[in-house]
Structure 1
Amino acid sequence: MDSKNDSFKLVAKTFKGLEEVLQNELAQLGATDLNIGNRMVEFTGNKELMYRANFHLRTALRVLKPIAEFKVKNEKELYDSIQTIIWSDYFDLKNTFAVDSVVYSDHFSHSKYVALKVKDAIVDQFREKFQKRPYVDTEDADVNISIHISNDICTVSLDSSGDSLHKRGYRLKTTKAPLNEVLAAGMILLSGWDKQSVLIDPMCGSGTLIIEAAMIANNIPPGIYRKKFGFETWKDFDSDLLEKIYEEDSPEINTKIEIIGSDISEIAIRISKENISNAGLKNKIELNVGPIENYMPPVVQSGVVITNPPYDERIKVSEINNLYKTLGDSFKNKYKGYEVWLLSSNFEAIKHIGLRPTQKITLFNGPLECKFLNYSIYEGSKKSKYN
């Protein structure tokens, strides 16, 4: 394994559409050799940067450390190549492990079969060397191994994150169709919010957007709530280094920014309160119960609305087009001075908002292709129609 100051290649994974945001985050952490790919950013860093990336990155799903790359065209070549890696350098018999694979290749048709062959090669190597084998744990493994095959190129990586980094640890409960935390943070960063203006989510659900906004405004690292990271069970884990990162980032900024969440559902607001309290942010966020058409936002020179209304995909809304028309009417009549950002996969319903978007960004919420739309609300917006 590498020493603390050795530099090596790393890969941060994200959602499609958030690659540039993630690249900017990595640059701020001091990463070098940045290279954007499909749903990922490659970079170079040392052990400390790998720890910091897991602790600080808001738009990364996981951070991988590649340890080998080779050409494979069939299962025997895959098995033999995996056996060239000295696996006892990375974990011992007492450790559990798991293999995850992603395959884009004509040579291999099933990713689960690839994962099984890799597992067999690792187990056989241990058995041959020690007459014993480590065990697989698909739920909570000590060491997670990632296999990526593109055409005939196989990349083997260690997953330094463990559980996906979107699992911050502050969410106790969710409403139906909750927004992924990484996507929520990405939406806020894409909006260009200055961390000073009022920020409102008028359909806040379980509170993910407003919690992520409060964390950004108060400089709270997303990893602060995590119980553990994948690298903590690696053979070269440096507990002092991780403790240093935790301690130096403990102080929070004392801000008085208005961050407001509202929802028609009393249950949703109750869940939001629990999640906000668990995140230690109950004095940072204001909550209201009621439909968007009844809510009066603060009168400001400039403010931001970021929201994720129902798409009629997982949440069934009987009159989805009327709901979007109500949203548009509320924005036009009550949100003068606000930049409104809305995420939706219902492209037909979006037309009923009745405003022309100034920006359109394609994002993915799980498998759903969405548009992240920006509407600038100013005097005269009532006349501006989106066709």
Structure 2
Amino acid sequence: MENNFNMVAKTLFGFEDILAKELTQMGAQDVKTGVRSVSFVGDKGFMYKANLGLRTAIKILKPINSFRVKSEKDLYDKLYKMDWQHLLKPSGTLAVDATVHSKLFTHSLYIAQKTKDAIVDKIRDMTGQRPNVDLKFPDLKINVHIDRDFCNISLDTSGDSLHKRGYKTATNIAPINEVLAAGLVMLSGWDGQSDFMDPMCGSGTILIEAAMIACNIPPNLMRKEFAFERWNDWDVDLFEKIEESLLNKTRDFHYKIVGYDKSPSAVAKAKDNVKNAQLEDFIEVKHEDFFKTQKGGDNKLHMVFNPPYGERLDIEMETFYKNIGDTLKQNYPGTDAWFITSNLDALKHVGLRPSRKIHLVNAKLEARLVKYVMYEGSKKAKYND
């Protein structure tokens, strides 16, 4: 279709394949994975849909130009030559975000400044009026990415990072990013066809993302604003049509989602966030110490959690991780338990052999998502059935 254009969805390291799968299932064309990114093709309606519906995307960029650059002056000149007037009114506002991996250019803030200068100079020279910078709520947010001597200029369609879903009013001491939480739940294979538990739920992010996945609720319905809503070609009727079509695909969920935390303040925050997300019908949060609990009933249990790493919380890690292994082994038969950690030494003290290990990066820390399968009865009995 002639109205299609290229887009790039940014993500976290290790989530590229699940984001590509999300895009393919959503109907994107020409989906290709990169590092921390997936490129795809779609129209304006699909751009709206991607921002509303993707769980593992941090940002959706719309590339508008690319070229080689030899110097800061060369960058300025090439940006100046571009047609900015159809994107930004002379009375409008802009913000520039730059990422630089280059020996030629070493300072991303300086590149952002140069970009801003070229755009406002061009519009001022053409119209006599100069757009202003607004870092919080710009009419146009521009992304500059320089890799060695190659420069990509994109429009940021999302604005604030897409992990800011809009349901979180309260967080605890070491909150998990919503995109990370959704990705962990998806990597664990959770399909909403069993009970779900987060035994160290903090402010409830994993529980909320799991419920939205189970019910197929679009993750970004509650966001206050996307960047494209300030564009000259913003189509509110099309956006509402896309929103309605996504809402029509929600589904029923017939199992239980339970969260434990031993901190009363974390439990209160989690309950607040669950209520804000309008998911109280699906999620129950309890004040419990996981190490003193056991699985209720014989139903299959799917568990995903984010235990402390020792980065921000002061805990005796070896004992803590040994207790995780002991509690799973003794009290949680019939459970697939997944958790993420960047404390790779402490992981050795779990005392169980993981059936899977997935390499991820969490807040610049090398991390592993590990899976432990707790069989009903002994493993030997399981294989002899």
Task: Report the equivalent of 2:305.
Answer: 307
Shifted more, 326-335 versus 253-262: the winner is 253-262
> Counterpart of 1:225 in 2: which secondary structure?
coil
1:133-189, Cα deviation, whole Å (9 max, x unpaired): 111111221211000011111000000001110000000100011000001000011
Q: Are the structure 2 counterparts of residues 117 and 296 from structure 1 closer, same or farther at C-alpha, using a change threshold of 3 Å?
A: same
Alignment of 1:219 onto 2:220: no
1:238-282, Cα deviation, whole Å (9 max, x unpaired): 111001112233354232221110000011000000000000011
Mapped contact 2:191–2:213 kept (Cα < 8 A): no
Task: Report the equivalent of 1:39.
Answer: 36
1:330-359, Cα deviation, whole Å (9 max, x unpaired): 100111111110100001111111111111
| Identical residues among aligned pairs (%) | 47
1:15-70, Cα deviation, whole Å (9 max, x unpaired): 00000000000001111111111100011111111110001000000000000000
Aligned residue among 268, 271, 275 for 2:273: 275
Aligned residue among 258, 261, 264 for 2:262: 264
Listed as ranges, the gaps of 5+ residues in structure 1 are 383-387
CA distance in 2 between counterparts of 1:215 and 1:182 reads 12
Alignment of 1:87-126 (within 5 A): 87-126=84-123
Task: Report the equivalent of 1:368.
Answer: 365
Q: TM-score, normalising length from structure 2?
A: 0.96
CA distance in 2 between counterparts of 1:281 and 1:194 reads 17
CA distance in 2 between counterparts of 1:356 and 1:254 reads 35
Mapped contact 2:295–2:333 kept (Cα < 8 A): no
Task: Tell me the matched-pair count.
Answer: 378
Listed as ranges, the gaps of 5+ residues in structure 2 are 381-385
How far has the Cα of 1:288 moved from its partner? 1.2
Task: Report the equivalent of 1:287.
Answer: 285
Alignment of 1:1-387 (within 5 A): 6-251=3-248, 252-317=250-315, 319-378=316-375, 379-380=377-378
| AA partner of residue 223 (structure 1) | N
> Counterpart of 1:183 in 2: which secondary structure?
helix
Provide the aligned C-alpha RMSD in A: 1.3
CA distance in 1 between counterparts of 2:281 and 2:379 reads 34
Mapped contact 1:355–1:381 kept (Cα < 8 A): no
How far has the Cα of 1:5 moved from its partner? 6.0
How far has the Cα of 1:301 moved from its partner? 4.4
Mapped contact 2:91–2:129 kept (Cα < 8 A): no
Mapped contact 2:79–2:118 kept (Cα < 8 A): yes
How far has the Cα of 1:283 moved from its partner? 1.3
Mapped contact 1:5–1:47 kept (Cα < 8 A): no
1:99-157, Cα deviation, whole Å (9 max, x unpaired): 00011111101111110100110111111111121111112212110000111110000
| Structure 1 residue runs of 4 or more that deviate by more than 6 Å after TM superposition | none
1:194-228, Cα deviation, whole Å (9 max, x unpaired): 21111100000000000000011111101111111
CA distance in 1 between counterparts of 2:29 and 2:332 reads 41
